[in-house]
């Protein structure tokens, strides 16, 4: 039975999509079968895994509003052991359409349930907001992984996110856990980054992953080639960081 992990943080630009793409590739390299669920209307995780959105008929949007079956929403990526439920700009409209639906917060959970057993890990890339789609992701998830950019403002939004997780846990998903906080875009030469790392570690202790994702140009370059860093340059620092994170995640859940 697959473990569903939502990558969430309502602050944009903290590395959610980069983490979704590269963590999925690293888990696949560890011989895990992975499904990526692109729950962001920008669809960057879809294009970053080699999916041409214009040629895809069924996306998460069709799945959520009931216009396709769960298996019809799943697509193969060009990479072994990584499948995807892609996104589309139409997902913006789903926020409005779902308001009228029964069990609107549980639509994604119902969509993923029939395919859950086919995967070791299901990674949900959430949009940088706390709207109904992100609420769906947190309701469907077993755990939430929170990427935290090594910038001061990144810390300010954490309390709001943690409060949302607390509400979801009490009202919609009692078994939701925090998988952990992962520090991204880290530069050990900068005093501010070291201070933020220490602060996050002090507040959240063992919930902070030991692996830190360092600033690395390869992580950006690889996306322009529609590949995870591991397939673009396996020897790069970014690829190795995410490989380490995947190993830490697997050990934690073994």
How many whole angstroms separate alpha carbon 155 and alpha carbon 16?
15
Q: Which residues, in sequence order, are bridge partners of residue 76?
A: 83
> Given pLDDT bands bounded at 50, 70 and 90, which one contains residue 254?
confident
Task: Give residue 205's pLDDT.
Answer: 87
> Given pLDDT bands bounded at 50, 70 and 90, which one contains residue 169?
very high
Q: Is the distance from CB of 77 to CB of 85 less than 8 angstroms?
A: no
| Alpha-carbon distances of 228 from 28, 115, 236, rounded to whole Å | 11, 24, 11
How many whole angstroms separate alpha carbon 39 and alpha carbon 111?
12
Q: State the average pLDDT for the chain.
A: 91
Which has the closest alpha carbon to 176: 1, 4, 2? Answer: 4
Q: What is the pLDDT of residues 25-84, one digit of tens each?
A: 999 999 999 999 999 999 999 999 999 988 999 999 999 988 999 999 999 999 999 999
- Tokens for 174? 């009692």
Mean pLDDT of the region 90-106:
85
List b or e across 219-234, with b for residues whose CB sees 16 or more CB atoms inside 10 angstroms: beebbeebbbbbbbbe
Task: Give residue 166's pLDDT.
Answer: 94
> Given pLDDT bands bounded at 50, 70 and 90, which one contains residue 114?
very high
> Given pLDDT bands bounded at 50, 70 and 90, which one contains residue 122?
very high
CATH code, 3-252: 3.40.50.300
Cβ-Cβ contacts under 8 Å for 129 (sequence gap 6 or more): 10
Domain assignments of the chain as residue spans, ordered by start: 3-252
């Amino acid at each position: 039975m697959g473990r569903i992990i939502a990558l969430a943080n309502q602050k944009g630009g903290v590395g959610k999509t980069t983490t979704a793409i590269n963590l999925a590739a690293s888990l696949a390299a560890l011989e895990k079968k992975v499904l990526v669920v692109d729950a962001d209307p920008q669809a960057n995780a879809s294009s970053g895994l080699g999916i041409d959105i214009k040629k895809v008929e069924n996306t998460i949007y069709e799945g959520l509003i009931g216009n396709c079956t769960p298996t019809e929403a799943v697509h193969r990526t060009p990479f072994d052991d990584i499948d995807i439920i892609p996104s589309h700009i139409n997902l913006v409209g789903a926020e409005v359409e779902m308001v009228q639906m029964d069990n609107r917060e549980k639509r994604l959970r119902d969509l993923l349930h029939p395919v859950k057993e086919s995967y070791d890990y299901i990674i949900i890339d959430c949009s940088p907001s706390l709207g109904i789609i992100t609420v769906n992701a947190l309701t469907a998830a077993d755990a939430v992984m929170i990427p935290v950019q090594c910038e001061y403002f990144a810390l300010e939004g954490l309390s709001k996110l943690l409060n949302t997780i607390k509400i979801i846990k009490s009202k919609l998903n009692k078994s939701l856990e925090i998988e952990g906080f992962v520090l991204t875009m880290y530069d050990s030469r900068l005093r501010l980054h070291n201070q933020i790392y220490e602060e996050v570690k002090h507040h959240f202790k063992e919930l902070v992953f030991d692996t830190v994702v360092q600033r690395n140009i390869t992580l950006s370059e690889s996306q322009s080639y529609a590949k995870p860093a591991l397939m673009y340059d396996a020897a790069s620092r970014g690829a190795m960081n995410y490989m380490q994170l995947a190993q830490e995640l697997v050990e934690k859940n073994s």
